[in-house]
Copies of this chain bind each other. A is one copy, B any other.
């Protein structure tokens, strides 16, 4: 299992008139956590795209536990718990201090950018997870 924690300060533009973060913006926090998780394995998602792959989201689940507020500093914990086959699942927890605010997951397929077709997890990516990069 690999996990990575990333801090984010909430922007005003991320709130809505219910006075907390708008529900769709949490998926951006998940994205930031995911990008830093992949970077921590030794390769940026930008490089992964440059190598000819996309990693689109095929499923997403979010549970909103407490309302994150403007200017809060939150910690996004992103984790890969199992090696991917056709699909990669990433789990997320968002904390403000010790309070869990949000949890959820995303599922991703590996796409060959040239053909637009799904492929199995590239060996390059599996090596990163194995610490062989």
Q: Which of B12, B56, B62 contacts A60 (CB 8 A)?
A: B62
Which stretch in A13-21, A79-87, A90-98 binds the other chain? Answer: A13-21
Instruction: Please tell me if the beta carbons of A18 and B54 are within 8 angstroms of each other in the complex.
Output: yes
Q: Which of B18, B25, B58 contacts A64 (CB 8 A)?
A: B58
Contact with B along A18-30 (1 / 0, CB 8 A): 1110111101100
Assembled-state Cα–Cα distance A106/B57 (Å): 18
A: number of interface residues (CB 8 Å): 36
In the complex this chain forms, how many copies of it are found? Answer: 4
Instruction: Please tell me if the beta carbons of A46 and B71 are within 8 angstroms of each other in the complex.
Output: yes
Instruction: Please tell me if the beta carbons of B17 and A70 are within 8 angstroms of each other in the complex.
Output: yes
Nearest CB of chain B from residue A12's CB, rounded to whole Å = 6
Q: Chain B residues with Cβ under 8 A from A31's Cβ?
A: 11-13, 23-24
